[in-house]
Structure 1
Amino acid sequence: MSPVRRIAAGLTLAAIATLMIATPASAHDQLMSSTPVADEQLAAAPESVSMTFSGDLLVLDESLTGAVVLVVDASGKDWVSGEVTVAGRTVTAPLEADMPTAGYQVRWQVVSEDGHPIAGAIPFTIGDAEPMATESSATDETGASSAASSEQTDQNASTGGILRVLLIGAGGAAFAVFVFVLVRFLRRPRTAAAAPNAGDSAENDL
């Protein structure tokens, strides 16, 4: 194989390896389903809320699950009555009994399987109540926009991670090419320098 083909093959392998590393870095777990579902109107107060994600969530130990779940009403009261549990892909939070007719919002944050925190909000109502009016802030006007902002942050972090991996891969490929060229140069036969010496020796003999 010629040196040019070897260099091209090396660059191709480096590019493939970089893409294989970068692809998993962009993937975070996502919320797949919940009980109640977003904007659901329940006839009676639920005993608990639960969420299922696309991958197993990160759990540090039994006392520190990394999951935070709040179920708040318009006054800001949290109706979660016990420990939030994580079982594989599912997060469950028990609720106080006799929750009144009102609008509520499930606010959650968990740690994705890859160690990245993700968060969101799920609005629902009990009875014929109006949906809960979400407090506005300088950055988020609704709970939905808050979730969208969190998702955008996740995407930006993923993009930055991919760029870093691509830059590292490109630098490694360039260094490999440099080493290859240097080795080829050092091992190059010195026939060009030997030829004139042979000619000079023949002239001296004459």
Structure 2
Amino acid sequence: MILDEKILFSLILSLLLLPTIASAHMGLVSSTPSKGEVVKADLNEISTVFKSQIETLSTMKLMMDNKEVPFAQIKVIESKMVGKLSAPLENGSYQLEWKIVGEDGHPITGAIPFSVKKAKSEEGTNSSLTEPKASSKEKSKELEKQSDTQKSKNEETSSTPSLPLIIMIGLVLIIVVFLFVLLKKKNK
């Protein structure tokens, strides 16, 4: 009888864990800024990319010192969510909190801490009036390179099995446990 209870517990546990394992296919692939990044240029947009398409119900909010920094606009386009800011972020520590809803209806949440540490510009010099345009373009290119590097690192490290494989493994485990329980009952 104790053995049957353990098997039943294993079966129930497998059934409970299967949706969690299956929802792993919707995880975060990359973000701009990335986790822990120190942004040294004006930041007017924050983006996240996920492993699969996300629903328009998905959202994100930006927090600084437990206060929300509002987005001017949030767009969901297939597997990407982009938040546009009305003004560049000031120096400080931030946390992007995202919540997505995948095609299968499972909600997933996460957080991306990052900080902004822009150099303070000197005021009143003529050179400072002309330099930001050139340096802004350079900084934009640098951020794109960092984003591409982060995306390739994330793609290299994400070796999550495909959803059908995960579901098949879960179903096989459930069937094996079920058959084992049936055979045990017949032998009694």
Normalising to structure 2: TM-score of the pair?
Answer: 0.51
**What is the match of residue 109 of structure 2?**
119
**What is the match of residue 76 of structure 1?**
67
Letter in 2 for 1:40: E
Identify the match of residue 166 of structure 1 among 158, 163, 174: 174
**What is the match of residue 26 of structure 1?**
21
**What is the match of residue 51 of structure 2?**
54
> Contact conserved, 2:71 with 2:84, CA < 8 A, in 1?
yes
Identity %: 28
Taking the aligned partners of 1:74 and 1:24, their CA distance within structure 2 comes to 34
Q: Give the match's secondary structure for 1:26.
A: helix
Q: Which has the larger radius of gyration?
A: 1
Structure 1 vs Structure 2 CA RMSD: 3.6
Letter in 1 for 2:62: V
Taking the aligned partners of 2:43 and 2:118, their CA distance within structure 1 comes to 15
Taking the aligned partners of 1:75 and 1:26, their CA distance within structure 2 comes to 31
Identify the match of residue 77 of structure 2 among 63, 87, 92: 87
**What is the match of residue 99 of structure 1?**
89
Taking the aligned partners of 2:30 and 2:102, their CA distance within structure 1 comes to 15
After TM superposition, the structure 1 = structure 2 runs for residues 115-194 of structure 1, keeping only pairs within 5 Å, are 115-127=105-117, 166=174, 170=178
Q: How many equivalent pairs are there? A: 118
| Residues 99/25 of structure 1: CA separation in 2 closer, same or farther (3 Å cut) | closer
| Residues 92/78 of structure 1: CA separation in 2 closer, same or farther (3 Å cut) | same
Q: Give the match's secondary structure for 2:69.
A: coil
Q: With a CA cutoff of 8 Å and minimum separation of 6, indicate the structure with the bigger relative contact order.
A: 2
Letter in 2 for 1:107: E
> Contact conserved, 2:61 with 2:68, CA < 8 A, in 1?
no
For structure 1, which runs of at least 5 residues remain unmatched after alignment? 1-21, 60-64, 130-157, 179-206
> Contact conserved, 2:47 with 2:81, CA < 8 A, in 1?
yes
Taking the aligned partners of 1:125 and 1:66, their CA distance within structure 2 comes to 27
**What is the match of residue 32 of structure 2?**
35
Letter in 2 for 1:68: T
Normalising to structure 1: TM-score of the pair?
Answer: 0.47
**What is the match of residue 132 of structure 1?**
none
- Detail structure 1 runs of 4+ shifted over 4 Å in the superposition: 22-25
**What is the match of residue 186 of structure 1?**
none
